[in-house]
């Protein structure tokens, strides 16, 4: 699912937070958004994830403009296509790890035993099988974030948007979480990560730098070809394998390699997320346990379907 922002502006009264942002995130990309505090990163990510609306400009998902869609429809799109990971985890303190993850499937109407079964598998994929019954208060920060990642991906979204996912973690836990996001990307999911961690950002194939509401640097801005529907044929500009950059971010002249796509997800049997392609049969709610966020992404009763 291509995510496209065109001339996006966000204002709060007199304060302009985003200024005419043009950004295209292609299927299968792994993208870091960096910039100083207050530069507009979270605002940008929330607009990308349809949690917030721009004051001006347009946001399109899979070629469909979502800017003026009603909230109920947006909630449905989020539920089926987008997973969120937040710095503060937003887990429900009253629920076990497995039940926290299972809330990510509430939208589906799936029976509870099946939701828990799926949740347990997602927890296994983030290495948390040994803590399924623990509540957040009984888990470390890194473990909480792994549970939150499992919740974000249990519905097999096309895109995962992570806002400072390592921000509350020590370096070792942060590295583990970053590794999980990379594995997730290698399994075919588009991943966008806001980070203050320069070392983490440096491992990402694409880095977008924001200052004062403007993109001042994008090391892999799509060319005009992207807008003409040749996204899937674009050569990969950078790849990471085993946590290492194996290409330097420049276009691969003459040796195009397949980009992860919805039709051909990369499946790595040796990876935690192997087999979790974003060409999944079902799309479900990436829940958050923050009451405000729950309201913001509240599922709609509409029947299931894909973005037309």
Ligand X SMILES: Nc1ncnc2c1ncn2[C@@H]1O[C@H](COP(=O)(O)OP(=O)(O)OP(=O)(O)O)[C@@H](O)[C@H]1O
Residue 15 binds which entry of Mg ion, ligand X, none, with Cβ cut-offs from 5 to 8 Å by kind?
A: ligand X
Q: Which residue lies nearer to ligand X by CB, 162 or 238?
A: 162
Task: Please list every residue from 214 through 243 that binds ligand X, using CB under 6 A.
Answer: none
Look at residue 38 and give the partner it binds from Mg ion, ligand X, none, a contact being a CB closer than 5 to 8 Å depending on partner kind. Answer: ligand X
CB closer to ligand X out of 38 and 63: 38
- Find all residues with CB under 8 Å of 159, minimum gap 6, and list them: 1, 3, 25, 49, 81, 82, 83, 189, 190, 191, 192, 278
Of 41 and 115, the one with the shorter C-beta distance to ligand X is 41
- CB-nearer residue toward ligand X: 55 or 140: 55
User: For 136, which DSSP code?
Assistant: G
Residues in the chain: 308
16 or 58: whose CB is closer to ligand X?
16
**Burial letters 174-196, b for 16+ CB under 10 A, else e:** bbbbbbbbbbbbbbbbbbbbbbe
Query: Any alpha helices (H) in the chain, and if so which ranges?
Result: 41-48, 71-81, 97-102, 112-125, 141-153, 171-186, 198-202, 224-227, 291-296
> Cα-flanking dihedrals φ and ψ of residue 32, to 5°?
-105, 140
Stretch that binds ligand X, among 38-46, 173-181, 249-257, 262-270 (CB under 6 A): 38-46
CB 147 within 8 A of CB 71: no
Cβ neighbours for 234, distance < 8 A, ≥ 6 positions apart: 26, 222, 225, 226, 256, 259
Among residues 42 and 50, whose Cβ is nearest to Mg ion?
42
Q: Which of 4, 28, 32, 42 binds ligand X (CB under 6 A)?
A: 42
Out of 5, 17, 139, 161, the only residue in the binding site for ligand X (CB under 6 A) is 17
C-alpha closest to that of 89 among 23, 133, 140:
140
Note whether 12 binds ligand X by CB under 6 A.
yes
Residues that bind Mg ion (CB under 5 A): 42
The CA distance from 8 to 226, in Å, is 18
What does the alpha-carbon distance between residue 218 and residue 211 come to, in Å, rounded to a whole number?
12
Task: Look at residue 185 and give the partner it binds from Mg ion, ligand X, none, a contact being a CB closer than 5 to 8 Å depending on partner kind.
Answer: none
CB under 5 to 8 A by kind: which of Mg ion, ligand X, none does 243 bind? none
Please identify which residue in 14, 15, 255, 301 interacts with ligand X, judged by CB under 6 A.
Answer: 15
The yes or no reply on residue 201 touching ligand X (CB under 6 A) is no
User: Which one of 24, 30, 34, 43 is in contact with ligand X (CB under 6 A)?
Assistant: 43
Query: Could you say whether residue 303 binds ligand X (CB under 6 A)?
Result: no
Radius of gyration of the chain (CA): 18
| Nearest distance in Å: CB 133, Mg ion | 33
Among 24, 34, 39, 136, binds ligand X (CB under 6 A): 39
**Closer residue to ligand X, CB minimum distance, 22 or 214:** 214
Q: Is 279 helix (H, G, I), strand (E, B) or coil?
A: coil
Q: Is 166 in the site for ligand X (CB under 6 A)?
A: no
Give SS3 for 112. helix
Q: Which residues bind ligand X (CB under 6 A)?
A: 12, 15, 17, 35, 37-43
């Amino acid at each position: 699912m291509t995510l496209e922002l065109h001339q996006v502006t966000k204002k709060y009264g007199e304060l302009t937070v985003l200024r005419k942002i043009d950004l295209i995130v292609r299927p299968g990309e792994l993208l870091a958004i960096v910039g100083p505090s207050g530069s507009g990163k979270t605002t940008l990510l929330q607009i990308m994830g349809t949690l917030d609306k721009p004051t001006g400009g347009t946001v399109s998902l899979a070629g469909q403009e979502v800017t003026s869609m009603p909230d109920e429809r947006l909630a449905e799109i989020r539920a089926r296509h987008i997973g969120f990971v937040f710095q503060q985890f937003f887990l429900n303190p009253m629920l076990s790890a497995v039940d926290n993850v299972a809330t990510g499937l509430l939208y589906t109407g799936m029976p509870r035993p099946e939701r828990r079964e799926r949740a347990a598998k997602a927890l296994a994929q983030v290495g948390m099988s040994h803590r399924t019954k623990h509540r957040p208060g009984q888990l470390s920060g890194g473990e909480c974030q792994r549970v939150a990642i499992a919740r974000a991906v249990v519905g097999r979204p096309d895109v995962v948007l992570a806002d400072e996912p390592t921000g509350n973690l020590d370096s070792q836990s942060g590295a583990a979480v970053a590794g999980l996001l990379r594995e997730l990307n290698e399994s075919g999911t588009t991943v966008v990560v806001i980070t203050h961690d320069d070392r983490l950002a440096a491992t990402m194939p694409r880095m977008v730098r924001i200052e004062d509401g403007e993109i001042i640097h994008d090391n892999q801005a799509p060319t005009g070809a992207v807008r003409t529907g040749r996204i899937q044929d674009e050569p990969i500009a950078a790849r990471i394998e085993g946590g290492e950059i194996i290409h330097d971010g420049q276009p691969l002249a003459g040796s195009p390699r397949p980009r992860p796509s919805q039709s051909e997800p990369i499946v790595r049997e040796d990876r935690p997320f192997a087999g979790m392609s974003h060409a999944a049969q079902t799309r479900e709610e990436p829940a958050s346990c923050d009451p405000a966020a729950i309201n913001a992404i509240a599922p709609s009763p509409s029947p299931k379907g894909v973005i037309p």
